[in-house]
Each structure stands twice: as structure tokens, then as C-alpha cells.
Chain A
Amino acid sequence: AQSVTQPDIHITVSEGASLELRCNYSYGATPYLFWYVQSPGQGLQLLLKYFSGDTLVQGIKGFEAEFKRSQSSFNLRKPSVHWSDAAEYFCAVGVSVMTTDSWGKFQFGAGTQVVVTP
């Protein structure tokens, strides 16, 4: 079964500084990887996804993530954070619809809360 670990529960960063959120996954096959963001009282918004190909993927709001198979990681980065980036970030692993087990099921990490200071 797949699992996702986000080692950092809480991160505080200054506005304008860079941000990196860690994500490690465990999955027997090639994973489909996602980062979602959740603002208070809101649902989850997709930031970016990795299915195959280029291991550095670009997303919305200036975010990018790099898939490293050797490290089973999919870390999220942003060069310069804005106050509006304060939110909770979730890494998730999904499976192909052709997989008989957990068809379409996503496994989410516990999330990383990002606080942005002036």
C-alpha cells in the first residue's frame, strides 16, 4: 500500500524568502504525485502534478516540484513567498485507473502548515 510522509508539520518563512516543503512517498510502482493547497475554510486546490516525463514540474502560483525516484521524494519549492501563500500544503500519491487496487484512491500526507511573516 502507498504512504506519504510530510516530515514538517509547521514551517515559518519570511515574505520574500524561499520555501521548500518535503514529501516522501512509498509506493511499489511509478507513482502519480500531487501537491494540493488548502486555505482556511476551503477545499483543496491543485498546485501541480507529476505523472511521467520531466522530473521538474511547474505549477500555479510560482510553485515547482522535483520528483526524485532514488530518494522517493517530491519536494515543493517556491523561490519567493508571498503573504498569500500562508496555507496548509498536502502531498498526495495516486494510482492509475488501470490498477485494480485503490482505483483512483489518493493517499495524502498529514500536511505542512506554512506561516508567512512580514
Chain B
Amino acid sequence: ETGVTQSPTHLIKTRGQQVTLRCSSQSGHNTVSWYQQALGQGPQFIFQYYREEENGRGNFPPRFSGLQFPNYSSELNVNALELDDSALYLCASSWTSTLSGANVLTFGAGSRLTVL
């Protein structure tokens, strides 16, 4: 089975620009979550996508947005980049059903964004 893949691995942007990060979920998974990991910190939940809709959001402004596609892959878009957006962005996929049960997240290697 293929794992979670993210692209690009590294990128540099300047303040005010926009960025799109991409994620392919692990085969068999239908849910994608995005996390921001600033240097020296634990990952912070941005949002989750299930059935192509946003399903839960952390404390991030609306300029952070996303998409999930029918093949369960996902994009994270960040508009009007700020210096503090510099971080490792982690995508995680999981299986969600309408029955009760906890998710186990499978993470990709991340996209390292530097904002200058």
C-alpha cells in the first residue's frame, strides 16, 4: 500500500504571496487532516476534510483553506502569506466511518515552507 505523499517538499515564498500544498492520501483512507508544525513545536491542527467538505477546524484564519478531491487527495492553500506561516506543513490521512471509532493518523513527510 502506498503511504501519504506530499508535494512540494520545500518551497520559499515572500510575504503576501499565495501557496498551494498537495497531499495524496494513503490508499484505503478517506479523510485528510492538515497540521502546521512550527520550529520546535508540536503539530497544530489546521483542518480536516471528509467527503470533500471541511469537517473541523483549528484556530487558523480563513486565509488557510483547503480542498479534498473525489480520489481523497487534498490541497492546502494559504493566501497573503505572513512570516509566521513559515513551518512544516503535515498532511495526515485516516479512515473515517459513520460508526464510532478513533482515527489513527498516517502522516506524510511534510512540506517545508519558508516565508521571507
Contacts and interface: CB of A to CB of B under 8 A. Distances in A.
Interface in B27-47: 31, 33, 35, 40-45
A103 B47 CA distance: 10
Contacts of B98: 97
B93 to A, nearest CB: 11
A43 B33 CA distance: 14
Interface residues of B, number: 33
Contacts of A108: 35, 42-44
A110 B42 contact: yes
Contacts, number: 81
A106 B105 contact: yes
A97 B100 contact: yes
Contacts of B55: 103-104
Contacts of A43: 4, 90, 107-110
Interface of A: 4, 32, 34, 36, 41-46, 49, 51, 90, 92, 94-98, 102-111
Given A96-B100, A105-B33, 17 more contacts: A36-B107, A49-B102, A49-B104, A95-B102, A96-B101, A97-B99, A97-B102, A102-B56, A103-B48, A104-B48, A104-B55, A106-B35, A106-B45, A108-B35, A108-B43, A109-B42, A110-B42
24 contacts: A41-B109, A42-B110, A43-B107, A43-B108, A44-B107, A45-B107, A46-B104, A46-B106, A49-B102, A51-B102, A90-B43, A94-B102, A96-B100, A97-B96, A97-B101, A102-B45, A103-B48, A104-B31, A104-B48, A106-B33, A106-B105, A107-B45, A110-B41, A111-B42
